[in-house]
C-alpha cells in the first residue's frame, strides 16, 4: 500500500546539513519545499521546490510561507538555516553575535510564528529544530554559535510544552561533526588577527574544528535518520546524531564538574607551541 505523500518545508536547504536533509526527505517520498537566501526565484529541481527565503527578514519569511502554503501546507517544518563566527569572547563584536543569533535562533522564531497557526488549523504537525552538540556544551572560540544553540535548546522545551495540546510535536536534532561544510562556512571574527592576544590558542582550536568537520560523520546518513524519524507517528524530543566519542563528551560534560570539563576541552582543542 503506497503511503500518502506528506509535505516538508525546510529552511537552509541550499547547503550543508540542510541540503542533505532535503535530499533524504525527497528520496523518502516527501514533497519538499526548500528555502534559502541563495534561491533567487521559484524553481523546481531534482524533485524539490525551491523558494527564496531569508530567515532574518520578516517579510521574506511571510512571503515564503504564503507561496509554500499555496503549493502544499506543511506536515513538517524542518529548520536547518544557520551560521557561525569563530572568535574569542572578548574580540567577537556585538554585531557578529547579533548576526549569528538573528539567523540561528530568531530565524526559527520567525518561521514558527508563521507556521504554527497553519498547523493548529490542520490539527497537528511536526517541527524539527536543528540544534547541535554545542547546544549542550561550550567549545572554545565558538561562543556566538554556542550561545545561539543553547537558546534553541531552552526555547524548544518551552515550545514543546505549549503546542502539545494542538497535536504539534517538536524535535531537537543535535548533530555532532559532519562532513558538510568548508572554510567559507567557518568565518572568523574580524578582530581575530595575528596580533590578537588569543591568536595562538585560537589557531589551534580553529585547526581542530576544521579537522573534526573534515573527518566527521556522513551527512547523508544524518538526512536519512531524520527522514525515517519523521515517518513515525511520534517523534522524540531530542535526537542526537553524533559519533560515539561525541556522545561520550556530552555525558562527561553532564556528570563531571565544570573545572574538569574545562580542562578536558582545553586539552582537546588547544595545543600550545613549546617554547625553545
Q: Is 131 a catalytic residue?
A: yes
Q: Is 243 a catalytic residue?
A: no
Q: Is 149 a catalytic residue?
A: yes
**Residue 132: φ, ψ to 5°:** -175, 165
Catalytic residue among 97, 145, 155, 269: 145
Catalytic residue among 6, 14, 88, 126: 14
Catalytic residue among 6, 88, 97, 131: 131
Q: Is 198 a catalytic residue?
A: no
Count CB-CB contacts under 10 A for residue 256: 12
Q: Are 127 and 76 in contact (CB under 8 A)?
A: yes
Catalytic residue among 88, 126, 132, 149: 149
Residues forming the active site: 14, 131, 145, 149
Amino acid at each position: 500500500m503506497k503511503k500518502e505523500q506528506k509535505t516538508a518545508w525546510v529552511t537552509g536547504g541550499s547547503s550543508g546539513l540542510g541540503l542533505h536533509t532535503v535530499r533524504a526527505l525527497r528520496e523518502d517520498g516527501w514533497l519538499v519545499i526548500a528555502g534559502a537566501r541563495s534561491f533567487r526565484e521559484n524553481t523546481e529541481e531534482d524533485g524539490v521546490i525551491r523558494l527564496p527565503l531569508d530567515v532574518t527578514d520578516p517579510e521574506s519569511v511571510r512571503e515564503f510561507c504564503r507561496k509554500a502554503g499555496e503549493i502544499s501546507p506543511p506536515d513538517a517544518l524542518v529548520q536547518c538555516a544557520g551560521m557561525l563566527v569563530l572568535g574569542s569572547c572578548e574580540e567577537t563584536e556585538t554585531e557578529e553575535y547579533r548576526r549569528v543569533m538573528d539567523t540561528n535562533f530568531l530565524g526559527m522564531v520567525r518561521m514558527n510564528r508563521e507556521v504554527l497557526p497553519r498547523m493548529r488549523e490542520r490539527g497537528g504537525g511536526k517541527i524539527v529544530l536543528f540544534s547541535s552538540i554545542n547546544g549542550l556544551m561550550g567549545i572554545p572560540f565558538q561562543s556566538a554559535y554556542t550561545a545561539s544553540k543553547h537558546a534553541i535548546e531552552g526555547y524548544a522545551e518551552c515550545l514543546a510544552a505549549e503546542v502539545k495540546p494542538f497535536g504539534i510535536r517538536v524535535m531537537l536534532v543535535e548533530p555532532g561533526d559532519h562532513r558538510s561544510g568548508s572554510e567559507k562556512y567557518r568565518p572568523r571574527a574580524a578582530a581575530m588577527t595575528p596580533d590578537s592576544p588569543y591568536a595562538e590558542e585560537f589557531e589551534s582550536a580553529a585547526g581542530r574544528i576544521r579537522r573534526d568537520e573534515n573527518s566527521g560523520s556522513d551527512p547523508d546518513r544524518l538526512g536519512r535518520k531524520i527522514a525515517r524519524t519523521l515517518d513515525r507517528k511520534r517523534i522524540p524530543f531530542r535526537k542526537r546524531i553524533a559519533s560515539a566519542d561525541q556522545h561520550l563528551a556530552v555525558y562527561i560534560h553532564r556528570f563531571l564538574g565544570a573545572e574538569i570539563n574545562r580542562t578536558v576541552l582545553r586539552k582537546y582543542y588547544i595545543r600550545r607551541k613549546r617554547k625553545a
